[in-house]
Amino acid sequence: MARLEPSPDEARAARLLRAQEIAWRLAPFVSVGLLIAAWEIVARSGTVTPYLLPSVGTVLARIWDDAVAGDLWINMILTLFRAFAGFAIAAIIGVAVGFAMARSRIANWFFDPLISVGFPMPKIAFLPVIILWLGTFDISKISMVVFETTFPVVTGTLVGIAGVERELIWSARNMGASEREVLRQVVLPAALPQIMTGLQVALPLALIVAVVSEMVMGGYGLGGAMMTAYRFANSAGVFAGIVEIAAVGWVVVKLMALVRRRLLLWHPEALEPSTV
């Protein structure tokens, strides 16, 4: 049977569609490119001083210098260490408190009002108190991160545990699982998506708080380096800091999304396209 040749009109329509598809694919590069071009054009046009907006080249050169001198890596590692140390402690405390509240009525009675009042509070206001108590060392920056990020982990854990189907727990008990086994093998995995959501709220907060603490306390770290550059009116250094911190934030958040997908491969949500 002879194959039907597409009419010229159909072929043109198909070509047009393919061209459109390619155009949509290219759009991300176009918009990021436009942003960088606009930055460079405004910086070079002389409508603003280089202090207000240094050119892209100056900022990249500054980042390169920092990288070669090694400052960039020291600062980055310090900021990441503070953010992640605080985040890890908050994750452990948050999940533990969430489980304790789900298990014990007394724990629930004690923590519930503290969490519901503490969650919406801007904990960062306590930063001077923390400095007063612990000084301006790593410990105070990490404590600030812990204080700010524990709350979303607790609420995520609570929501997760509350959403576990009763039937799952009953059938596990029926089959002779101990309380411990039920918690570890049924409740924890079933609550994991919500716990991960809580952690995903906490992680960007950890970075924000680490950077702010460094800005207030000074010293090394990406936030501290930015404030030093700002005090010396070195605006290329300030813009370099923004680019560096943005890059760190982007990588960290993407990695967290990957971890989530890996941990929840078994969960139906892994089938849906992820928005992150």
Partner 1 sequence: MKSALIRYTPIAIMALAWELIAQLGLVSSSALPPLSKVVIAWVDLLRSGDLFAASAASLYRGASGLALAIAIGAVLGIAMAWWRPANALLGPLVEMFYPMPKSALIPVTVIWLGFGDGSKILLIFLGCMLPVTIGAFNGARGSERVLVWSARSMGASRLRMLWDVVVPSAMPELLNGVRTALALSFILLVSSELIVARQGLGYLIGYLGADGNYESMFAVVLTVAFLGFAADRLYMLLMGRVLAWRD
Q: How many residues in total does the chain contain?
A: 276
Q: Which stretch binds partner 1 (CB under 8 A): 6-14, 96-104, 185-193, 242-250?
A: 242-250
Asked if 59 contacts 236 with a C-beta cutoff of 8 angstroms, the reply is yes
Q: Which stretch binds partner 1 (CB under 8 A): 70-78, 87-95, 187-195, 211-219?
A: 211-219
The only residue of 186, 196, 238, 260 in contact with partner 1, by rule CB under 8 A: 238
Tokens coding 99: 């489980």
The only residue of 6, 50, 57, 128 in contact with partner 1, by rule CB under 8 A: 128
Place of tokens 């970075």: 207
Give me the amino acid identity at 262.
Answer: R
**What is the Rg, in whole angstroms, of the alpha carbon atoms belonging to the chain?**
25
Quote the CA–CA distance of 82 and 161 in Å, as a whole number.
29
Tokens coding 203: 């992680």
Q: Is 137 in the site for partner 1 (CB under 8 A)?
A: no
Asked if 226 contacts 238 with a C-beta cutoff of 8 angstroms, the reply is yes
Pick between residue 114 and residue 162 the one whose CB is nearest to partner 1.
114
Least Cβ distance, residue 18 to partner 1 (angstroms): 16
**Max CA pair span of the chain:** 87
Residues lying near partner 1 in the complex (CB under 8 A): 24, 27-32, 34-35, 51-52, 109-114, 117, 120-129, 131-133, 148, 204-205, 207-212, 215-216, 222-223, 226-227, 229-230, 235, 238-239, 241-242, 245-246, 248-250, 252-254, 275
